[in-house]
């Protein structure tokens, strides 16, 4: 048996044939695998839309800057940072993009595209992996635009609270200490929380998730930029109160009270008449609104008493006044005012009727539901780009007024 040359020959022949068959399968398969998996960097460029944008390695201090209007190529692993005066955009060679607004930090983890592309009408079954873009948003607000669907492009946004898988379309992602908010303007996005809970968002929907907030069901895209709208007893955590009383014998107060079985903000003054005083609350919003299509103020207002008719001689003293302080696109500080009164104004008193400063007469003792015009369309070139604060105040002589359910609603 050991010296049987025929058996040995058959073993050699079968072994050679097996090796031939193995290599016949392995070599084409390896070539095929390489062709469909080989990637190369997707060309990416960072442009400073305004201000100074800082870039650098995610493990080192951010030291490189891109000046207003200039561009710089981006490499994987770099972190990009904007402050409240700057804005940037990452553009990819496949026409996808990521816009960074003020006070935003992102890390550019990956942008790879297949090295080889194939004609969809090819006779050969060659299926390559999709292009992959992975961005981590650490804080701030971004607008992501995916140029293709998931079969061709995996555009993923990672945040501390969730992973967001984008389909073809346009999306807004905002990250703060409270959590992550995802809004779809166009297209679909799959939001996957850290506990693997997920929700699919369609056009005009949003979802929120945070360290102490479970992943929400799809919500309407409109969002309230105010952190407290109902004036609960703890409203001073979000609103700062103030009072201006020039002389003794005059008091001006603002407080959360129960009226008709709900919480309202009550603004009052008392004491000597014909003496100016002012009291109100201020909430610092600090929100970039350049990417919104609509911005409106909603509030319920009830006027009880005013001894100074109209808005005073100069049209600036109302029993309730809403005031939004903001910056326009050029960084100029601007203001929007709207006053409410029930006592008619004498002919020699001013009542402004401008887009940024107006007032209206409403019925006394009645809850009046107020809805402003769209501030992003009516104010023209002076429209808001960044909301600094909103103020609710009463001003004049003797007044008593209430406000409830105030909202600053922004819509994508």
CATH 2.60.120.260: which residues of the chain?
235-411
| Beta bridge partner(s), residue 282 | 240, 391
CB of 288 closer than 8 Å to CB of 141:
yes
Q: How confident is the model at residue 411, as a pLDDT? A: 83
Q: Name the band, by pLDDT with cuts 50, 70 and 90, for residue 10.
A: confident
* Average pLDDT of span 119-133: 64
Residue 391 CB coordination number (10 Å):
18
**How far is residue 349's CA from residue 339's CA, in Å, rounded to a whole number?**
14
Q: How confident is the model at residue 31, as a pLDDT? A: 62
Q: Which of 267, 361, 249, 353 is nearest to 309 (CA)?
A: 361
Q: Mean pLDDT lowest for which of 14-18, 133-137, 269-273?
A: 14-18
CB of 344 closer than 8 Å to CB of 379:
no
User: Residue 255, SS3?
Assistant: strand
Q: How confident is the model at residue 117, as a pLDDT? A: 64
| pLDDT top residue among 9 and 207 | 207
User: Residue 236, SS3?
Assistant: helix
Q: Name the band, by pLDDT with cuts 50, 70 and 90, for residue 94.
A: confident
| pLDDT top residue among 36 and 248 | 248
* Average pLDDT of span 162-190: 91
Q: Name the band, by pLDDT with cuts 50, 70 and 90, for residue 109.
A: very high
The pLDDT mean for the chain works out to 87
Chain-centre distance for alpha carbon 167? 19
Residue 395 has pLDDT above 90, yes or no: yes
Q: How confident is the model at residue 33, as a pLDDT? A: 60
Residue 24 has pLDDT above 80, yes or no: no
> Dihedral angle at the C-alpha atoms of 89, 288, 204, 224, nearest 10 degrees?
160
Residue 224 has pLDDT above 60, yes or no: yes
For the domain made up of 235-411, the CATH class stated in words is: mainly beta
- Tokens standing for residue 306: 């005013």
Q: Name the band, by pLDDT with cuts 50, 70 and 90, for residue 84.
A: confident
* Average pLDDT of span 160-182: 92
* Average pLDDT of span 308-325: 95
Helical ranges in 98-226 per DSSP H:
none
Q: Which residues contact 180 (CB under 8 A, 6 or more apart)?
A: 159, 160, 161, 162, 173, 174, 208, 209, 210
* Average pLDDT of span 344-348: 92
Residue 122 has pLDDT above 80, yes or no: no
* Average pLDDT of span 152-169: 94
Residue 389 has pLDDT above 90, yes or no: yes
Q: How confident is the model at residue 61, as a pLDDT? A: 61
**How far is residue 342's CA from residue 365's CA, in Å, rounded to a whole number?**
10
CB of 217 closer than 8 Å to CB of 199:
yes
Burial 13-34, CB ≥16 within 10 A → b, else e: eeeeeeeeeeeeeeeeeeeeee
Residue indicated by tokens 């166009």: 186
* Average pLDDT of span 283-307: 92
Q: How confident is the model at residue 295, as a pLDDT? A: 93
CATH 2.60.120.1440: which residues of the chain?
39-219
* Average pLDDT of span 240-260: 91
Q: How confident is the model at residue 135, as a pLDDT? A: 96
From residue 274, how far is each of 270, 375, 401 by CA, in Å? 11, 34, 18
* Average pLDDT of span 157-184: 93
pLDDT (tens digit, 9 = 90+) per residue, 32-77? 665 556 557 788 999 887 789 998 864 566 578 898 888 899 888 8
Q: Is the pTM of this model over 0.95?
A: no
Residue indicated by tokens 């887009």: 355
Residue 123 has pLDDT above 60, yes or no: no
pLDDT (tens digit, 9 = 90+) per residue, 348-388? 999 999 999 999 999 899 889 888 989 999 999 999 999 99
- How big is the CA angle at 288 (ends 158 and 154), to the nearest 5 degrees? 25
39-219 CATH, one of 2.60.120.1440, 3.40.50.2020, 2.40.50.140, 3.40.570.10: 2.60.120.1440
Residue 1 CB coordination number (10 Å):
4
* Average pLDDT of span 122-138: 76
Percentage of residues of the chain with pLDDT beyond 70 = 92
């Amino acid at each position: 048996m050991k010296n049987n040359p025929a058996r040995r020959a058959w073993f050699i022949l079968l072994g050679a044939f097996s090796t031939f068959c193995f290599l016949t399968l392995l070599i084409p398969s390896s070539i095929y695998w390489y062709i469909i998996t080989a990637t190369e960097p997707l060309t990416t460029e960072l442009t400073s839309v305004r201000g100074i944008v800082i870039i650098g390695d995610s493990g080192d201090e951010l030291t490189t800057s891109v000046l207003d209007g200039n561009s710089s190529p981006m490499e994987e692993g770099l972190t990009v940072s904007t402050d409240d005066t700057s804005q940037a955009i990452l553009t990819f060679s496949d026409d996808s993009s990521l816009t960074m607004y003020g006070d935003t930090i992102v890390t550019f983890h990956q942008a790879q595209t297949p090295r080889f592309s194939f004609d969809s009408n090819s006779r050969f079954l060659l299926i390559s992996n999709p292009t992959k873009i992975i961005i981590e948003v650490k804080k701030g607000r971004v607008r992501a635009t995916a140029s293709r669907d998931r079969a061709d492009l995996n555009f993923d946004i990672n945040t501390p609270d969730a992973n967001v898988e984008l389909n073809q379309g346009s999306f807004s992602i905002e990250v703060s200490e409270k959590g992550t908010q995802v809004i779809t303007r166009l297209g679909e996005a799959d939001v996957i929380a850290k506990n693997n809970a997920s929700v699919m968002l369609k056009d005009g929907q949003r979802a929120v998730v945070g360290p102490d907030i479970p992943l929400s069901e799809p919500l309407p895209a409109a969002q309230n930029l105010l952190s407290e709208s109902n004036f609960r007893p703890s409203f001073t955590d979000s609103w700062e109160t103030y009072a201006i009383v020039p002389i003794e014998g005059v008091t001006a107060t603002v407080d959360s009270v129960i009226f008709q079985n709900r919480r309202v903000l009550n603004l009052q003054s008392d004491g000597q008449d014909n003496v100016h005083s002012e009291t109100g609350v201020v909430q610092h919003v600090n929100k970039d609104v350049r990417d919104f299509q609509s911005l409106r103020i909603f509030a319920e207002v009830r006027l009880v008493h005013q001894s100074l008719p109209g808005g005073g001689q100069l049209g600036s003293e109302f029993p309730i006044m809403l005031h939004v302080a903001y910056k326009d696109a050029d960084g100029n500080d601007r203001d929007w005012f709207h006053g409410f009164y029930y006592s008619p104004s004498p002919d020699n008193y001013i009542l402004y009727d401008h887009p940024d400063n107006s007032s209206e007469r409403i019925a006394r003792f009645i809850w009046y539901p107020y809805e402003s015009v769209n501030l992003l369309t009516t104010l023209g070139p002076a429209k808001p780009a960044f909301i600094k604060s909103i103020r609710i105040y009463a001003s004049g002589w003797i007044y008593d007024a209430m406000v409830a359910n105030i909202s600053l609603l922004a819509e994508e």
